[in-house]
Structure 1
Amino acid sequence: MSVDRRCPAAHPDDPTPCVGPVVVTVLDAGKAGADGCEHHGARLLASLDGGRVYALPDAPYRAAIRTFTAAQGIRPFCWLDGPRTEPSHLSHAENRARYGR
């Protein structure tokens, strides 16, 4: 995937390029989804409440697990600057460490 054309899971304000091919589908709580590379899939999943990730049929082994695991340590909308003080601003891993959630 070229730098000019990114996967559908890449947020327009996220400046990062794709890392690898499109291999996962990320669904929100309403079952709307986007296909993406593991990198943007993880960033999207981290920004959703109640999101899920599934490997596409031709995905490499454990692609969805890697995406899910990466999302746990990523803050929602991590490309935005500003103070991050509320639980909704923190990663799942940070919330577990601070609040036992």
Structure 2
Amino acid sequence: MDHRCPAAHPEDPTACAGPVVVTVLDAQNAGADGCEHHAARLLASLERGRVYPLPHAPAGAAIRVFKASDGIRPFCWYENAPRTELSQLSRAENRARHCR
């Protein structure tokens, strides 16, 4: 397999989409730098995660990652996993359920 960014989960089969441009931090401030694609997937899998642009990031990179993560289910690479708990749905799906 080709080299992938540090934000790519070992079980996520997808390739990086562009250069490493952001840092994703979890609630304990542990972090990983990543491309926008893997950073969004990582952020979607974290509770109280945050994303910050690296100094060389193009304008809006962190915002794009934040917005993309909203519609991604946690650990989305587990495509056949049952999604029965609220914690297994995307933030957007949870908002939609609570707005009915």
> What TM-score do you get using the length of structure 2 for normalisation?
0.96
What residue in structure 1 maps to residue 97 of structure 2? 98
Alignment length, in residue pairs? 98
Q: Which runs of 4+ in 1 moved over 3 A?
A: none
Query: Can you give the 5+ residue segments of structure 2 that lack an aligned partner in the other structure?
Result: none
Task: Among all aligned residue pairs of Structure 1 and Structure 2, give the percentage whose two residues are the same amino acid.
Answer: 73
Q: How does 1:58-73 map to 2 (within 5 A)?
A: 58-73=56-71
Note if 1:13 corresponds to 2:11: yes
2:43 to 19, 37, 45: 45
RMSD: 0.8
Query: Can you give the 5+ residue segments of structure 1 that lack an aligned partner in the other structure?
Result: none
Q: Distance in 2 between matches of 1:98 and 1:24?
A: 30
What residue in structure 1 maps to residue 53 of structure 2? 55
1:28 to 21, 26, 29: 26
What residue in structure 2 maps to residue 86 of structure 1? 85
Q: Distance in 2 between matches of 1:39 and 1:47?
A: 13
**Offset, 1:99:** 1.8
What residue in structure 1 maps to residue 72 of structure 2? 74
Q: Distance in 2 between matches of 1:31 and 1:42?
A: 17
Q: Distance in 1 between matches of 2:95 and 2:81?
A: 22
**Offset, 1:26:** 0.0
SS in structure 1 at match of 2:20: coil
Q: Distance in 2 between matches of 1:98 and 1:19?
A: 31
Matched AA of 1:84: R
Matched AA of 1:6: R
Q: Distance in 1 between matches of 2:72 and 2:87?
A: 12
